[in-house]
Amino acid sequence: MNSDAVFDCLVLGLGPAGSSFLRLAPPSLRLAALSAPPGPLGKPCGGLLSPDAQAQLARQGLNLPKELLVSPQIFAVHTLDLGSGRGRHYQRSYVNMDRARFDAWLLSLVPERVQRFQGRAQQIRRLENGLFQVEYRNARAEMGRLWARRLVGADGAASLVRSSLFPGRQARGFASIQQWFPQAQSTPFYACIFDAETSPACSWAVSKDGMLLFGGAFPQSGCRARFERQKQKLLALGWELSQPRHTQACRVLCPASPRDFCLGGGDAFLLGEAAGFISPSSLEGISWALRSAEALARAFSQADPLDAYARATLGLRLELLAKWGKRPFMYHPLLRDLVLRSGLSSLSLLETPR
């Protein structure tokens, strides 16, 4: 291998974390990025930009182009407990957007000087000379190899960087499934669904440009059957969930203890969901991807980047663990019932969509 083929840093994954890191990383570095080609619908996601993510984009000097928005923009979430049948509306100020277009927009902001490769990484090794070697397969099934002094794993919940280099540091998580349905009859809406019988996590339904996206997170074992059972309960309530146009599935992490985070080690770094940065209560991950990317980009200017990154993200990890502490009020059926009964902070709508 000649030395021109060796990059200072290779980023694996071009979701919000990888693209943002590359935009913010020190310009003196010779950077490369490898990412699997996105599918037509992009990453499975609710496509809701939380107030924290909006604030983080603002911090990074970014304004959302209107082409990323979908219709409608919804100001209330209908929280529904299928166990008790109770529901309430709460005010929310999420931005409803097209996730594939959002990722493509962040990618368009990656500087030209970053050398980009498309393909799926198959194997990651640390060589005896200290370099990282990544073997990948491109869309024509050809194999390629890349070498770098530093490796950044921004490759999401099922991170190959994390499983290859830190095999003892796997995080807990769920299997997530979502489907897209034509929505012809009902008023567009946004709902958050709890059903203790099928999942200890939440599900969501959100209208997007004439389609209804319904998805949830489920324990891995029997996940599809659990999803279908939950869907049947909603169908019985009259929801338009009978003819899915598309089905998507992936892993989603749910950090519950300090051990669920892994920042890296020995010139390999993890960020975004690969590191465990995602809310265990709402499964909101975009703001954490943006925040961890900024922290790592800044840390790369320091003498000991891993130490600087660990210090900069201590607050993030504590915030996420505090969100785990909030889970009983959302997920314990009795406590949730109390909250829903009380009507605390809820809106009373003149006309409810469901």
Ligand X SMILES: Cc1cc2nc3c(=O)[nH]c(=O)nc-3n(C[C@H](O)[C@H](O)[C@H](O)COP(=O)(O)OP(=O)(O)OC[C@H]3O[C@@H](n4cnc5c(N)ncnc54)[C@H](O)[C@@H]3O)c2cc1C
The binding site for ligand X (CB under 6 A) comprises 12-18, 34-36, 43-48, 50, 53, 120-121, 154-156, 160, 176, 178, 215, 250, 252, 272-274, 278, 283-286, 289
- What is the smallest separation between the CB atom of 231 and ligand X, expressed in angstroms? 15
Question: Phi-psi bin for 129: left (phi > 0), alpha (psi -120 to 50), beta?
Answer: alpha
- In angstroms, the CA 336 to CA 276 distance is 26
With respect to ligand X, which residue has the nearer C-beta, 84 or 117? 117
CB-CB neighbours of 5 under 10 Å: 12
Amino acid in position 129 = N
- What is the smallest separation between the CB atom of 309 and ligand X, expressed in angstroms? 15
- What is the smallest separation between the CB atom of 320 and ligand X, expressed in angstroms? 12
- In angstroms, the CA 163 to CA 170 distance is 7
With respect to ligand X, which residue has the nearer C-beta, 14 or 339? 14
- What is the smallest separation between the CB atom of 334 and ligand X, expressed in angstroms? 27
- Sign of the Cα torsion 265, 268, 271, 276 reads negative
Provide φ and ψ at 168, rounded to 5°.
-85, 0
Q: Cβ(202)–Cβ(344) under 8 Å?
A: no
With respect to ligand X, which residue has the nearer C-beta, 13 or 87? 13
- What is the smallest separation between the CB atom of 338 and ligand X, expressed in angstroms? 27
Q: Cβ(15)–Cβ(44) under 8 Å?
A: no
With respect to ligand X, which residue has the nearer C-beta, 219 or 333? 219
With respect to ligand X, which residue has the nearer C-beta, 85 or 148? 148
What tokens were used for 125? 């090794």
With respect to ligand X, which residue has the nearer C-beta, 214 or 239? 214
- What is the smallest separation between the CB atom of 284 and ligand X, expressed in angstroms? 4
With respect to ligand X, which residue has the nearer C-beta, 39 or 315? 39
Q: Cβ(284)–Cβ(169) under 8 Å?
A: no
What tokens were used for 100? 């594939």
Q: Long-range contacts of range 322-329, CB-CB < 8 Å, 24 or more positions apart?
A: 323/279, 323/280, 323/281, 323/282, 324/255, 324/256, 324/257, 324/280, 324/281, 326/281, 327/280, 327/281
- What is the smallest separation between the CB atom of 50 and ligand X, expressed in angstroms? 6
- In angstroms, the CA 293 to CA 271 distance is 6
Q: Which residue sits closest to ligand X, CB atoms considered?
A: 285
Biggest alpha carbon–alpha carbon distance for the chain: 70
- What is the smallest separation between the CB atom of 325 and ligand X, expressed in angstroms? 20
With respect to ligand X, which residue has the nearer C-beta, 176 or 281? 176
- In angstroms, the CA 279 to CA 285 distance is 6
